Amino acid sequence: MPMIMRAKYTKVGMMKYLSHLDLVRLFERAFRRAEIPLAFTQGFNPHPMVSFASPLSIGVSSEAEYFDLVLSTPLDAKEFTQRMNDTLPEGIHINAARLYSTNKLTSLMKESALLSYRIEGHSNIPLQLEALDESISSFLAQPEILIEKTIKKNKYKHRKQNKSVTVNIRSLIHSFNIKSVKENFFTAELEIYNYDSGTVKPLIVCQNWIRFSELQICQEDLTFHRTEVCRKNSQESFEAILSSDSYS
């Protein structure tokens, strides 16, 4: 009976500068060091069967990343977590895991419906909470927020074509709120839908907000931290794919 271990992990500190591919390699090697009973793909070059949720941009940290790993024999979720955390480098840490006795789960890509971020930034001048709140309200009150997006077309090997399309990102923003302001510094929370048809990076949302509201916020110094990835449950409300510190 194939088993799937779904795990939630952090990517914080300097590790946020690893690319997604670097991270995949890091996990494949950690699985081997932790002696996790892996199931492999067929063929000349067998690989462990692991799939990840929506990849992070380089430089964005997270406390809610997910992967599904197919196991060849069952393993207790707590045991799995401990063995992995013993060998994972600082910054990457498993904080929830659940073992499913099935060979098919709804993929993490499909499960990820809502991405939550904490954003921190600063200005050269002192900021006012009311003014920031107001700027976000009017930013979100626009019926459409249009951005130009280039889509890389790689369909024909020798004819790389880049196509530019206009996308409305207003419909991708679930919520956007200022959490606190202290002198020149502010913290905000942003929730973004992750549709099959597309999503938007939090940086793009912030750039458009800053441009729209003519705020003097240093774009280069904004930091982004993913706080949760939610799925839609049967009651059509959002809940974390795995709640932190749960092992079952």
Name the 3-class secondary structure at 24: helix
Among 2, 12, 20, 28, binds another protein (CB under 8 A): 28
156 binds another protein (CB under 8 A): no
Name the 3-class secondary structure at 30: helix
**Contact characters 87-106, another protein, x per CB under 8 A:** x-xx----------------
Segment lying near another protein (by CB under 8 A), choices 43-51, 164-172, 181-189, 237-245? 43-51
42 binds another protein (CB under 8 A): no
Nearer to another protein, 74 or 91 (CB): 91
130 binds another protein (CB under 8 A): no
Among 3, 4, 5, 30, binds another protein (CB under 8 A): 30
Residue 32 Cβ vs another protein, minimum distance, rounded to whole Å: 4
Name the 3-class secondary structure at 129: helix
218 binds another protein (CB under 8 A): no
CB-based contacts of 244: which residues, under 8 Å, 6+ apart? 8, 63, 64, 95, 96
44 binds another protein (CB under 8 A): yes
Task: Please provide the DSSP assignment of 168-209 as one string.
Answer: E-GGGEEEEEEEEEETTEEEEEEEEE-BTTB---HHHHHHHH
46 binds another protein (CB under 8 A): yes
C-alpha to C-alpha distance for 29 and 46, rounded to whole angstroms: 14
Among 130, 148, 196, 220, binds another protein (CB under 8 A): 220
| Six token digits for residue 133 | 């709140």
| Torsion sign (Cα): 164, 166, 169, 171 | negative
Residue 48 CB neighbour total at 10 angstroms? 18
Radius of gyration of the chain measured on its C-alpha atoms: 20
73 binds another protein (CB under 8 A): no
Contact 40, 46 (CB under 8 A): yes
21 binds another protein (CB under 8 A): yes
183 binds another protein (CB under 8 A): no
Nearer to another protein, 33 or 182 (CB): 33
C-alpha to C-alpha distance for 123 and 75, rounded to whole angstroms: 50
Residue 17 Cβ vs another protein, minimum distance, rounded to whole Å: 4
Residue 38 CB neighbour total at 10 angstroms? 18
Nearer to another protein, 183 or 221 (CB): 221
32 binds another protein (CB under 8 A): yes
Residues in contact with another protein by CB under 8 A are 14-15, 17-19, 21-22, 25-26, 28-33, 40, 44-46, 58-59, 87, 89-90, 220-221
